[in-house]
Amino acid sequence: MTRRSISRRSALAGGVASGLAAIGGCLSEGGILNGSGGSDGPMIGVLEDRSGEFALNGTAKWQASLLAVEELNADGGVLGEELDVYDPDPQSDNQRYQELTREALNREGVDALWAGYSSATREAIRPIVNEEEQLYFYTTQYEGGVCDRTTFAMGATARQQLGAVIPYMIEEYGPRIYTIAADYNFGQISGDWVRLLADEHDAEVVGEEFILLGETDFGSTINAIQGEDPDFIASMLVGNGHANFYEQRADNELDVPMASSTTMAQGYEHRRLDPPALEDMYVGVNYMEELETDRNAAFVDAFYEQFPDADYLNQEAQNNYFSIHMWAEAVEAAGTFDQETVIAELEDGIEVEAPEGDVELDPETHHMTHHMRIGRADGEHEVTFSDEQYIEPSFLHEVGCNLPDDPEQTQYEPDEFYDEI
């Protein structure tokens, strides 16, 4: 069954409608009426989804960004100036992302940009970011491999996440893996990483299915998994539609354990779905709201004090939060908002006190070394953490990415470097 969602716009084939919607969007969200045209102070762009397929993931990213800006401003601003935010809602729509990115760069002239949940979005706007040589922070956990002189990838990569959770699962449950992943660049490349990690640990991928974004029917997928009877499922499902897999897994009484890089820490499925849908889900994360440290408790309190109605404080929200503080530190150290100077400052190496723990920027690759944990949900959806490791973004080092010496703008993929895939 075709549980894809179509936007009403395409349903109406409405050039007119989308034009009107775009104008409406401008009027209500920022630009023409209450834009920052009057302010000459520093400004950052925060483009995060608050509606559409990724609203559940993006809303907290937006909120945590505003919290970071609020804290900076309460503390005297950045370089003594109050920080402004350009933050219209891109509505999980890549075309709208491209339009808004141009707005942010060309009209608003933002000093730094945080934008996008999915890898498809990142790749849709990166050409614009590259063209303008814009300092850009992408904060979602992702497949890895982006080696780009003005882009800083703040999330953990597949190598860091799957590298933590897949070997653990092979050890714990056995070597037969069944991969299900979203059918776009993120899911496909993550699937390659699972194969590679399986090969490194003498395990085997016995089945693989790539599933369209927005799909909500998993009856045949579950039957196919039952036919193979794997030791565990590697799930890189993405977005709200795919959450139905977990619901239907419980409904079908399929009790194969699952490993993931995408679940719980982003779309808080363990809070939204009735137990035991997520029972025996193991996810490789650098952050979840449930982490029990004093520093995190303070962060969670501050977040819910600012946004009492917020649903969940997810991993990507934390990444937005610490990276805005990190950028502000770099600006203070550089003494200017000039983007080239700030990039040079970041490339000198920088460490921040993030809620997940102290993390360092890796100057060569523009990625972060993260505290990776394995979060497990039990039959009541209580999350516990184990196996904390401090993991470097190693893949880009292996392929020779060294941005201060060789300022390129590419994305490396694992199948170009490993024969095992």
Partner 1 sequence: MNGYELLNVTFQFLESFAFIVLATVGLAVIFGMMGIINLAHGEFILVGAYATTLSAHQGLPLPVAMLVGVVATTIFGIVLERTIIRRLYGRLLDSMVATFGISLVLVQLTRILFGNSIDQVSTPFGAISYGSYSYSLYRVLLAGAAIATLLVLYILFTRTAFGIRARATIQDEETARSMGVDTDRMYMSTFAIGSALAGLTGALYAPARASPTPEFGSEFLVDAFVAVVVGGPSVLVGTPLAGGFLGLIEAFFTFQWTQFIGTVAMLVAAIVMIRLLPDGFSGLVESVRTSWRESE
Among residues 4, 301, 386, 410, which is the contact residue for partner 1, using CB under 8 A?
Answer: 4
- Check: CB of residue 390 under 8 Å from CB of residue 175: no
Examine residue 1 and tell whether it contacts partner 1 (CB under 8 A).
Answer: yes
Q: Which residue has the tokens 């009790």?
A: 255
Shorter beta-carbon distance to partner 1: residue 17 or 124: 17
Q: How far is the CB of 35 from partner 1 (least distance, A)?
A: 22
Return the sign of the alpha-carbon dihedral for residues 381, 386, 388, 391.
negative
Nearer to partner 1, 2 or 386 (CB): 2
Q: Which of residues 168-197 bind partner 1 (CB under 8 A)?
A: 183
If binding is defined by CB under 8 A, does position 5 make contact with partner 1?
Answer: yes
Give the interface segment with partner 1, choosing from 171-179, 249-257, 346-354, 397-405 (CB under 8 A).
249-257
Using CB under 8 A, pick the residue from 274, 292, 294, 405 that binds partner 1.
274
* Separation of alpha carbons 386 and 33, rounded Å: 50
Does 14 bind partner 1 (CB under 8 A)? Our answer is yes
User: Is the distance from CB of 176 to CB of 202 less than 8 angstroms?
Assistant: no
Q: Compute CA distances 277 → 24, 30, 264, 265, 283, whole Å.
A: 40, 40, 11, 15, 14
For tokens 């559940």, the residue is 56
Site string for partner 1, 288-327 (x = CB under 8 A): ---------------------x-x----------------
Q: What are phi and psi of 400, to 5 degrees?
A: 85, 25
Kindly state whether residue 251 participates in binding partner 1, applying the rule CB under 8 A. Answer: yes
Measured distance CA(194)–CA(414) in Å, rounded: 11
Closest CA to 49 of 91, 98, 101, 96: 91
Of the residues 31, 187, 241, 393, which one makes contact with partner 1 according to CB under 8 A: 241
- DSSP assignment letter at 157: B
Cα separation, 277 vs 99, in Å, equals 38
Cis? peptide before 276, omega within 30° of 0: yes
Q: What is the DSSP string of 378-419?
A: -TT--EEEEEEEEE--HHHHHTT--TTTS--EEE--GGGT-T
The answer to whether 221 contacts partner 1 (rule: CB under 8 A) is yes
Instruction: Give the nearer residue to partner 1 in terms of CB position, either 18 or 161.
Output: 18
> Of 79-87, 132-140, 191-199, 269-277, which segment contacts partner 1 by CB under 8 A?
269-277
Among 62-70, 117-125, 207-215, 339-347, which window interacts with partner 1 (CB under 8 A)? 207-215
**376, amino acid identity:** R
The residues binding partner 1 (CB under 8 A) are 1-8, 11-12, 14, 17, 21, 50-53, 55-56, 59, 183, 209-212, 214-224, 226-227, 229, 240-241, 243-244, 246-248, 250-254, 269, 271-274, 277, 309, 311
